[in-house]
Structure 1
Amino acid sequence: YRRIREVYYLWSLAGGEVEAELRKTSLIPSTPPICSLPCVVTSGREEHGSGSGLVTHYDRSVLLLSLDQLRKRLEGMSVADYYPLTETSGGTMPGQERHDSSSLPLAIKEKDVEYQFHRMVMFTRLLESYPHSRSLVMAEAVVDVCPLVRAEVWAALLGVKGDIQEEYAAIDKDTEQLTDRQIDVDIPRCHQYDTLLSSRDGHCKFKRILKAWIGSHPALVYWQGLDSLCAPFLALNFNDEALALACLSTFISKYLHNFFLKDNSSIMQEYLAVFSQMIAFHEPALFNHLDSTAFNPELYAIPWFLTMFTHILPLHKIYYLWDTLLLGNCSFPLFVGVSILQHLRDDLLTFDFNECILMFSDMPDIDIQACIHDAVRAYLATPPSTYLRKHDHTYSPPTDVPPEALREPLSLDVLRQESCPHISAHDVIALCGLEYHALGYGGGARESGPTHSLRSPSSPLQRRAEVGRRRGKSGKGGRKGRKGVLVDIRSQEEFRAGHVPGSLSLPHQLAFQPDGSLTPSLPSSSLSSVRTSRVIIVVANKGKSGPEFARQLVRLRFPHVCVLHNGAAVLRSLGLLTALGEDP
């Protein structure tokens, strides 16, 4: 059998509408619109004499809703459709293969009765065996999330478990606190277009959950924006405050670690500095324009990241965004921010400082599906070490590579001074296919493929990108096809003494003309020919020459520019430099 909410969900998709059925039986009186106008409207906007209260009177009548239309839509379903296998001995999920309609747009799939039936049944069966089935829930969420079970799926993706009801009941949610006044001010302004959140019960639940979060996290404080973060979880778990709090707490712990400290300036400033470098990496023209107008991320992006975009997007778009965000790590929101700027790019390039301020104070409508697709593509096209942060508590460096091939997070001062990100030698080796030559990487036959990749091809966002390509979206981007080109800016003598075969020699003293353009040469022509298809890695000696050279390339609108951390010295220590004339 199916639960009543599942039947009602499918009945609604099949064309059922409760209000229409009630009107047919006159249980909802049909009143001419002119008769519903109020007789008196006071200066306080109170209405009198509209007669609207007539439809809210309790009625003992019972109305049976016909399921004939739903039965007709599901009459072709077999027993296997109602009880699909979720796992086989080979680890495959036959139900997923049999009912995969991922080529359809999401808006169409969410209205397709048969498709939603299969997704609902599959997710329900997987959730019944959670947490054992968490990896399978994540695999299904890569395709899409059934709206009916989104709350439970999000909880599974976040890894919520334990006796959350008892934990919630044990928290003091009634004692007056210093933050109560601010909470009372924030709640009536938070997503009040939503019927549940704007109700009196919604406000009470809002306050209890926020007070419970504050009480259960004594080391953290209430910042404006916490109410916006809470809104999606409360809307989805309106009748389960304990689960809403558990999801909120886990979400903040993973994606906003230490953002709610009393002094969060260092965490926020580092996040914004890395975000600025990601803009330069993916959108150099836009970065140059915003930099020239002094329109820095501090002026617009703090509400984005502090609320994970719930402050600027309506709930129905947040649901789609977080369906994907929960599949990624705590750095993925950086690329959502970059994607939003890309979608506003044409307007921003023509705006001055004041016009930019006005635009972000009243955010334009954004195609959220296109934004998500571009964010995933940018994330997969970016070497992980380029967005490494000191306060990323989830980062764990690989242990099977030489330590000199990795890099430490940059200080906040360096992040602010340099426009282009640093890249580790480990990522350079993976990008340029140097695993077979680098000391400490094991070597091996070339046919076996790289031994160290930037990101696991089976990661959830990698699989999400594959789903996007199957839907007919652009196949470019992602890790596939993105290679690195090394630009060695040391002197010709140093280049001849030792360089990576295939790298371009562009001594920084001679590389640019007085007007800032590249000096015509064979290496500069080669660099220009791959400007949009390769990650450009600047190899220099220690000092400022590398970051300055990279900044000039960004001024010339070269995308995907980064600086090799520790420069040529790290390549030498890994045995990757070859003297001119020697065999590699």
Structure 2
Amino acid sequence: MRPLRDAQLGAFTFFASALPHDVCGSNGLPLTPNSIKILGRFQILKTFTHPRLCQYVDISRGKHERLVVVAEHYESSLSDFQRQGKTASPEMVLKVAYEVLEGLEFMNKHGMVHRALAPNNVLMDHKGNLKLAKFGLYYMTDRGGDVDFPIGYPSYLAPEVIAQGSFHASDPSNEEAPLPSGPKSDIWSLGVLLFEMCAGRRLLHNIEISERLKFILTLGCMDDIVTVLAEEHGCLDTIKDLPVNVLELLRKCLIFLPSKRPTPAELLGDEVFNEISCLYMPFQKPLSLFSSSLRCAHLELPEDISDLCKEEEDYLSERAIDEVYYLWCLAGGDLEKELTNQGIIQSKPPLCTLPKLKDVGGEAYYPLLEEEQSSLPQSASSQDLSTTVTLPLIIRERDTEYQLTRIVLFHRLLQAYPYKRDLVWKDARVDIPPLVRGMAWAALLGIEGDIQAKYEGIDKDTPIPTDRQIEVDIPRCHQYDELLSSPQGHVKFRRVLKAWVVSHPDLVYWQGLDSLCAPFLYLNFNNEALAYACMSAFIPKYLYNFFLKDNSHVIQEYLTVFSQMIAFHDPELSNHLNQIGFIPDLYAIPWFLTMFTHVFPLHKIFHLWDTLLLGNSSFPFCIGVAILQQLRDRLLANGFNECILLFSDLPEIDIERCVHESIKLFSWTPKSATYRQHAQPPKTTAVTDGNGFGRPGTYYFSDYQDMPRTDLSREPLALSELKAELSPRISAEDLIDLCELSLAGGGKRTRAGRPKIVAVDVRSAEDFNRGHLSGSVNLPYSSAFGPDGELVQCPGTGVLHSFRGRVIVVISHAMKSGTTFASHLVKVNFPRVCMLDGGIIKMRSTGLLTVPSPQI
């Protein structure tokens, strides 16, 4: 998107054709409303950025198939010049022709034509440069088939367009649609427009429409159409006095037969523009963030940085058009209300009221990425924003000034990606502005390189066996959303999903993959390559090998670890669910197979994934536990059948609360407690310390699997052995890191000043005295359990009560005794119980075991 500068935001509205309510398509589903089809096709128009085209910004769908389109707008147009009744100079005619042809040629390269070219759709900025408006109306309405009005103006339509007559896709009497208008149709319209400029009057303006059309069709038998038109309008002398190149231009445009008429590209290279073409620089497409091209930015700063922020500067006009519109909406802008306030709905009134942004200090538009280097004084508004950060996310996302500062900051960070990747992570921990969420997610997923070339190199057209299942799934995936339910949305869904299937031959398409694709496609609707790249990076990180043809071992291990996480964080709930037989296999597979996209609507997924993408592959376990805890009271009060019914129609979940609880749970979970042997293999990436959210200054974190493997790491377990254990295991290195070997030495402590972790050694007193971990507590297994493993006394009373709430690590000599001891603690509702993998044997090689001092 280019900057707003002197442009305004304009809107125009129209109605799509209504479809009958009692008709279904060939698939048995209701027909897609034409307004939804138009909304889907419109999206690609937002990506077209060219100096000769008015930038499209947004489209909204209202009642009764009403559509309102927002686009770049200027008050001046060629209609203003026509109303003056003056003839244009030859220089102006050539300038208008060349600039219009530039815009038309760009459209043609993207397979589009204007079809509605007329003076009122040729706008002029304050420098006199031309901008074509409404150039996408013909395309978005499927060549006029989705609306009940013709696209174009009769006086400017080419003869071949008039000869075909009108057509409506909803009219059953039309067996075949007319041929679509080609680039040469716009050349005729341009010729009529240029002729009017030269003649100083409107062509056929005072003649009835039917007579105009008849006259234009009779021009086919004329040798010199320009002369005939001049004679008809009494301006033959004016036309004859035109320079040869201008007259030749008119004649080349107003050729009756389209086969002999030039295209915009051919006319641009014609010798009639020899003198003017050298004044224009070829259009350079803006560089994409993800491409093989080198990007650079002008980063020179003035000596006095405060010179950047002058009171008289209009900083907002330098922001992108889509940003300004987004902020206008946040400030209370309402499209239909604005148009209604004018008495009639029309496109002329500009949408440019942004009262809440007038007082924003200039420093907000030039954020320094290193805060300690900032020499700018803090404005009152900036100080107010520091309190906004503490407000709920849904309020922050509707605060206009706050969103402005966040958008500007993220725009700058993303422009510096991947160099400033760490700062993207850091600021994403606060929140991600919805406007830049797609790019921010791509940065969090580490997307780099020429993704477009890679995507284009994938065969998405050759039929494959999966095509049938994809076709069945797409019409059921998040179809409440207008964008994803549009035909264009279905096409893009199909292409991205098929690209993933084809490019991952070792994996297969499972139901749920479409739900995973939905958030990425929605955020990158006009960039399929980025949607595919994000999806391809997301799946191995969070769903490694979930899409194998036989994924049972992967799923079962995942669900078992999830069961252990429930027992670790909420043993009472875990005990109840196990007692009634309501195991994760019955409800959690759709959660994790789709990373909750099958459970929640998109607006909740966006907030959930904003945090999920900051966590490692174990963070989904914490989300799952947080969801269960929101339903805790109802689950504890119900039996198996009631729980099944509860999850068949999941109650409303507070996503912001779920996110906060997930972060809290994650910070209490030892890194190695969620170890899975079927997780993604180690990557050669930098490893940050800590497990993340709970530690200030840590803004991203790797999986435990990415840690260098040592003798103190967790060992893989057979699935049957893993399922037999109620509590998770942690590695020796994790234990050493968490307790720092000295409870009295100021190790990891809670806010109350107590240690966060306690090691409970269940070996005999004799073994304990031969060597133990400093600060550990000795509670011999034999004192609680008899020789046959029966419970002798309850360790839930007495000394263990003082440790309730901390992470309790059970250390044993044989894992069987440790497992039994830990399981009993869970059964008497002790939270955060885990076991040391490998027992005390793992610690002996460390040299960290101590023995009691002899008593004198």
Q: Report the TM-score when normalising by structure 1.
A: 0.81
User: 1:80 is aligned with what amino acid?
Assistant: E
**3-state SS, counterpart of residue 469 of structure 2:** helix
Asked if 2 retains the 8 angstrom alpha-carbon contact of 1:339 and 1:374, the reply is yes
User: 1:332 is aligned with what amino acid?
Assistant: F
User: 1:323 is aligned with what amino acid?
Assistant: D
Q: Distance in 1 between matches of 2:505 and 2:742?
A: 47
* 1:555 aligns to 2:827 (yes or no): yes
* 1:431 aligns to 2:738 (yes or no): yes
**3-state SS, counterpart of residue 81 of structure 1:** helix
* 1:569 aligns to 2:841 (yes or no): yes
Asked if 2 retains the 8 angstrom alpha-carbon contact of 1:191 and 1:197, the reply is yes
* 1:63 aligns to 2:380 (yes or no): no
Asked if 1 retains the 8 angstrom alpha-carbon contact of 2:742 and 2:775, the reply is no
Q: Which residue of 1 aligns with 2:432?
A: 145
Q: Which residue of 1 aligns with 2:189?
A: none
User: 1:563 is aligned with what amino acid?
Assistant: M
**3-state SS, counterpart of residue 487 of structure 1:** strand
Q: Which residue of 2 aligns with 1:503?
A: 776
Correspondence for 2:356 among 42, 53, 73: 73
User: 2:339 is aligned with what amino acid?
Assistant: L
**3-state SS, counterpart of residue 482 of structure 2:** coil
Q: Structure 2 vs 1, CA of residues 261 and 351 (structure 1 numbering), >3 Å: closer, same or farther?
A: same
CA apart distance, 1:27: 4.8
Q: Structure 2 vs 1, CA of residues 373 and 339 (structure 1 numbering), >3 Å: closer, same or farther?
A: same
Indicate the structure whose relative CO is greater, using CA pairs within 8 Å and at least 6 residues apart: 1
Q: Which residue of 2 aligns with 1:418?
A: 725
Q: Structure 2 vs 1, CA of residues 320 and 506 (structure 1 numbering), >3 Å: closer, same or farther?
A: same
Q: Distance in 2 between matches of 1:251 and 1:226?
A: 12
Q: Which residue of 2 aligns with 1:3?
A: 320
CA apart distance, 1:345: 0.9
Q: Which residue of 1 aligns with 2:808?
A: 536
User: 2:836 is aligned with what amino acid?
Assistant: L
Q: Structure 2 vs 1, CA of residues 256 and 91 (structure 1 numbering), >3 Å: closer, same or farther?
A: farther
Correspondence for 1:519 among 793, 802, 817: 793
How many matched pairs? 511
**3-state SS, counterpart of residue 485 of structure 2:** coil
Q: Structure 2 vs 1, CA of residues 241 and 210 (structure 1 numbering), >3 Å: closer, same or farther?
A: same
Q: Which residue of 2 aligns with 1:377?
A: 664
Q: Which residue of 1 aligns with 2:415?
A: 128
CA apart distance, 1:524: 4.9
User: 2:445 is aligned with what amino acid?
Assistant: L
CA apart distance, 1:526: 2.1
Q: Which residue of 1 aligns with 2:366?
A: 83
Larger mean Cα displacement after TM superposition, 148-157 or 77-86: 77-86
User: 2:614 is aligned with what amino acid?
Assistant: L
Q: Structure 2 vs 1, CA of residues 490 and 93 (structure 1 numbering), >3 Å: closer, same or farther?
A: farther
**3-state SS, counterpart of residue 547 of structure 2:** coil
Larger mean Cα displacement after TM superposition, 535-544 or 111-120: 535-544
Asked if 2 retains the 8 angstrom alpha-carbon contact of 1:86 and 1:95, the reply is no
Q: Distance in 2 between matches of 1:484 and 1:137?
A: 32
CA apart distance, 1:134: 1.5
Q: Distance in 1 between matches of 2:377 and 2:813?
A: 55
Q: Which residue of 2 aligns with 1:250?
A: 537
* 1:406 aligns to 2:713 (yes or no): yes
Q: Structure 2 vs 1, CA of residues 426 and 294 (structure 1 numbering), >3 Å: closer, same or farther?
A: same
Q: Distance in 1 between matches of 2:358 and 2:581?
A: 62
User: 1:405 is aligned with what amino acid?
Assistant: L
Structure 2 matches for 1:179-194, cutoff 5 A? Answer: 179-194=466-481
Asked if 1 retains the 8 angstrom alpha-carbon contact of 2:670 and 2:730, the reply is yes
Q: Which residue of 2 aligns with 1:297?
A: 584
Q: Structure 2 vs 1, CA of residues 236 and 397 (structure 1 numbering), >3 Å: closer, same or farther?
A: closer
Q: Distance in 2 between matches of 1:79 and 1:170?
A: 45
CA apart distance, 1:493: 2.5
Deviations 1:185-244 (A, max 9, x none): 111111111111111211111111111111121111100000000111111111211111
Asked if 2 retains the 8 angstrom alpha-carbon contact of 1:482 and 1:535, the reply is no
Calculate percent identity across the aligned residue pairs: 54
Larger mean Cα displacement after TM superposition, 262-271 or 86-95: 86-95
Q: Structure 2 vs 1, CA of residues 309 and 582 (structure 1 numbering), >3 Å: closer, same or farther?
A: farther
Q: Distance in 1 between matches of 2:782 and 2:364?
A: 69
Q: Distance in 2 between matches of 1:104 and 1:298?
A: 37
Q: Structure 2 vs 1, CA of residues 519 and 154 (structure 1 numbering), >3 Å: closer, same or farther?
A: same
Correspondence for 1:18 among 335, 341, 363: 335
Asked if 2 retains the 8 angstrom alpha-carbon contact of 1:516 and 1:552, the reply is no
CA apart distance, 1:574: 2.4
User: 1:315 is aligned with what amino acid?
Assistant: L
Q: Distance in 2 between matches of 1:250 and 1:243?
A: 10
Q: Distance in 2 between matches of 1:336 and 1:518?
A: 37
Q: Which residue of 2 aligns with 1:40?
A: none
User: 2:349 is aligned with what amino acid?
Assistant: L
Q: Distance in 1 between matches of 2:625 and 2:375?
A: 35
Q: Distance in 1 between matches of 2:415 and 2:367?
A: 13
Q: Which residue of 2 aligns with 1:461?
A: none
Q: Structure 2 vs 1, CA of residues 323 and 8 (structure 1 numbering), >3 Å: closer, same or farther?
A: same
Correspondence for 1:483 among 756, 774, 787: 756
CA apart distance, 1:91: 10
Asked if 1 retains the 8 angstrom alpha-carbon contact of 2:597 and 2:605, the reply is yes
CA apart distance, 1:515: 13
Larger mean Cα displacement after TM superposition, 96-105 or 356-365: 96-105
**3-state SS, counterpart of residue 117 of structure 1:** helix
Deviations 1:475-507 (A, max 9, x none): 979xx9662222222223223333334333222
Q: Which residue of 2 aligns with 1:326?
A: 613
CA apart distance, 1:392: 2.3
Q: Distance in 1 between matches of 2:366 and 2:853?
A: 67
User: 2:413 is aligned with what amino acid?
Assistant: L
**3-state SS, counterpart of residue 782 of structure 2:** coil
Asked if 1 retains the 8 angstrom alpha-carbon contact of 2:743 and 2:755, the reply is no
Larger mean Cα displacement after TM superposition, 228-237 or 95-104: 95-104
